Amino acid sequence: MASLESFIESDDELSAVNDMLAAIGESPVSSLEGDPNADVANCRRLLNQVNREVQSKGWAFNIEEDATLTPDSFSGLINYLSDYLKITTGNYSNRGGFLYDRAAKTDVFKDPITVSLVRLREYQEMPECFRSYIVAKASRRFNIRFFGAGEIEGSLQEQEATAWAECQEYELDYGNYNMLDGDAWTGGRISR
What pLDDT digit, counting tens, does each position of 119-135 carry? 999 988 899 999 999 99
Assess whether pLDDT exceeds 50 at residue 21.
yes
Q: Given this model, what pLDDT does residue 188 score?
A: 60
Residues 73 and 165 in one domain: no
Burial tier of 28 (Cβ tally within 10 Å: 0-12, 13-18, 19+): exposed
Determine the average pLDDT of the residues in 100-106: 95
38 inside domain: yes
5 inside domain: no
Instruction: Decide which of 119, 138, 156 is a domain's last residue.
Output: 119
For residue 96, give the amino acid letter: G
Q: Given this model, what pLDDT does residue 59 score?
A: 95
Question: Of 54, 52, 83, nearest to 69 (Cα)?
Answer: 83
Q: Given this model, what pLDDT does residue 184 score?
A: 57
Q: What is the pLDDT of residues 57-88, one digit of tens each?
A: 999 999 999 999 999 999 999 999 999 999 99
Residues 42 and 88 in one domain: no
Residues 53 and 22 in one domain: yes
Residues 128 and 90 in one domain: no
35: containing domain: 10-58+123-174
Cα separation, 144 vs 147, whole angstroms: 6
Mean pLDDT of the chain: 88
Q: What is the pLDDT of residues 126-172, one digit of tens each?
A: 999 999 999 999 999 999 998 888 888 999 999 999 999 999 999 99
Assess whether pLDDT exceeds 70 at residue 183.
no
Residues 53 and 128 in one domain: yes
Q: Given this model, what pLDDT does residue 111 score?
A: 95
Number of domains the chain is built from: 2
Residues 68 and 53 in one domain: no
83 inside domain: yes
Residues ≥6 apart with Cβ < 8 Å to 137: 50, 54, 160, 163
187 inside domain: no
183 inside domain: no
Q: Given this model, what pLDDT does residue 131 score?
A: 95
